[in-house]
Structure 1
Amino acid sequence: MSCSARRVASVVKASRGGCGAFEGTIARDLSTRYSELLPSWRVVEALQSLFEAPPPDASELPLGQQLRDLYGGALALRPDCVYSNFVSSLDGVVAMKGASSGPAISGRSEGDRFLMGLLRACADCVLVGAQTFRDDAGHLWTPGYIYPPAAGEFGALRSALKLPETPQLVVLSQSGDVDRSQPARPLVLEGERPLGSVLEELRARGWRRVLCEGGPRVIGELLRQSLLDDMFLTLSPVLAGRDREWRPGMVGGIELLPEHGAWGRLASARRQGSHLFLRYDLR
């Protein structure tokens, strides 16, 4: 049987935690809905590994067998790192005006949602800009929320990494104008400050692996200061197009080429159907 035809059985489990009781309730509700609609064992297509060359200073993470099978192999990250995760159309669009546009760009790819959950499960904290937080009002930046079928496996991974049940959401806001009553319960860092000092503050709190999920201007500032170590990019097989509507690429607020292009080294390539899941080492 070819790798592309491989299927892996994944048990639908309730979330082991969340942002207090609210996130746990939401994750359990989503898992219950999955179990009502699907058999007890859910057949999930694994990602197919095409290329793997992780950074030499990265450490293999203790993925359980089900996560390892679904991911298509091992996952290694540096002990201290900043890594990003985006989904992009073939023509480079990562966001559209209004509410969260990720599902529209990804085509609600199951593989993309699984990878989002896996990368969140490895993180001490998830870093986003204020606009991304506003656009995704009501969203929970937790592994089990984005991919309920693997909530139990994500929880086991975090336990093996000796991490709290969920990563802390950190929101960057110059004005501080952020709805702190959102169920995600963010830590809001206000004012204008270099991202280097922000990362120092996060690491002073013991948060060593930082996952950035946007937006483009935050990524641009990380690149400006050479602070982004790894970039995970889901390439969705769709053309989004551009006209008068704001439709940014992954990097905003800075022009890198022709003088200062930020070049990466391909560290991993996977596929599920026509979606590609790429990783670049930028350090």
Structure 2
Amino acid sequence: MRVLFGATPNDEVSDDDLTTLYASEASAAKPWMRCNMVSTVDGSATGAAGDSGSINNDADGRVFHTLRALADVIVVGAGTAKAERYGPTDRPIVLVSRKAQVPESLRDAPAGSVYLATCSRSDGVDSAREILGEEHVLTLGSHRVDLPLLKKELAERGWVNQLCEGGPHLLRDLVFQGCVDELTATTVPQLVGGINGRITEGAPIQTELDLTLLLEDHGTLLGRWRVKN
């Protein structure tokens, strides 16, 4: 792995280097939400198996694990957590679901390791509280999840380094509502065709980005993009 842009050129980027290169600007006064996504050269966010695991590779995996190690909390859409078969991690996971759905793979997670952000009008709130515990279900908004309030709520719990791992609808909504500070995007050297979705889905948005770092590893490009909020 080598640095192409944004730092001193280096053809041998170590794991310690990655930790430095991906350090965030989070502070108690300024929570930092980073969204991490992967796609192919032809824009697909998934491969033949219908998940990102069928397109990511070792280079993407190195950055993925670096970002998780730097994070205080992992935010992910419940649908993505289900499709990607999420299990408990050493960081708290916050599921975002308007329907208050908890994927099967996380229902038996240790108490306090999984939270759910949902809305008060959801029919699934009572069931989610039974599964996760009432104190771990955050009702933020009435008809849809109030994402800026979620970012603030997580920061008030001391989770200022916030890592969102998708999916595409959640990323789009987070950007639209002004919550995202940074996008880390991996482009893998594959073409997959088909009608697979992109890393953002939903109503059109137009948001400019500034490239702050670009790495390369055997054709895989790994970038840090600051969102111009």
Determine if the alignment matches structure 1 residue 131 to structure 2 residue 59: no
Contact kept, 8 Å, 2:33 with 2:161, in 1: the verdict is yes
Secondary structure at 1:76 match in 2: coil
Secondary structure at 1:77 match in 2: coil
Q: Which amino acid aligns with 2:25?
A: R
Q: Which amino acid aligns with 1:181?
A: R
Secondary structure at 1:214 match in 2: coil
Q: Which runs of 5+ in 2 are unaligned?
A: 8-12, 120-143
Determine if the alignment matches structure 1 residue 103 to structure 2 residue 30: no
Secondary structure at 1:132 match in 2: helix
Deviations 1:19-71 (A, max 9, x none): xxxxxxxxxxxxxxxxxxxxxxxxxxxx2111116xxxxxxxxxxx95224x3
Of 62, 69, 88, which aligns to 1:114?
Answer: 62
Contact kept, 8 Å, 1:125 with 1:169, in 2: the verdict is yes
Q: Partners of 1:125 and 1:229 in 2: how far apart? A: 15
Alignment partner, residue 194 of structure 2: 242
Instruction: Give, in angstroms, the shift of residue 189 of structure 1.
Output: 1.6
Q: Partners of 1:215 and 1:169 in 2: how far apart? A: 14
RMSD, aligned α-carbons: 2.2
Q: Which amino acid aligns with 1:90?
A: V
Instruction: Give, in angstroms, the shift of residue 237 of structure 1.
Output: 0.3
Instruction: Give, in angstroms, the shift of residue 279 of structure 1.
Output: 1.1
Determine if the alignment matches structure 1 residue 254 to structure 2 residue 199: no
Alignment partner, residue 277 of structure 1: 222
Instruction: Give, in angstroms, the shift of residue 274 of structure 1.
Output: 1.1
Q: Which amino acid aligns with 2:150?
A: V
Alignment partner, residue 170 of structure 1: 94
How many residue pairs align between the two structures? 191
| 1:192-231 equivalent positions in 2, closer than 5 A | 192-231=144-183
Deviations 1:97-151 (A, max 9, x none): 866x222112xx21111100000111110100110111122534x4xxxxxxxxx
Q: Partners of 2:14 and 2:225 in 1: how far apart? A: 25
Q: Partners of 2:222 and 2:38 in 1: how far apart? A: 9
TM-score in terms of structure 1 length: 0.62
Determine if the alignment matches structure 1 residue 78 to structure 2 residue 25: yes
Deviations 1:205-261 (A, max 9, x none): 111111010101111111111211111111000011124xxx1111111202xxxx2
Alignment partner, residue 117 of structure 2: 189
Alignment partner, residue 42 of structure 2: 91
Q: Greater CA radius of gyration, 1 or 2? A: 1
Contact kept, 8 Å, 1:84 with 1:228, in 2: the verdict is yes
Contact kept, 8 Å, 1:138 with 1:183, in 2: the verdict is no
TM-score in terms of structure 2 length: 0.76
Contact kept, 8 Å, 2:44 with 2:198, in 1: the verdict is yes
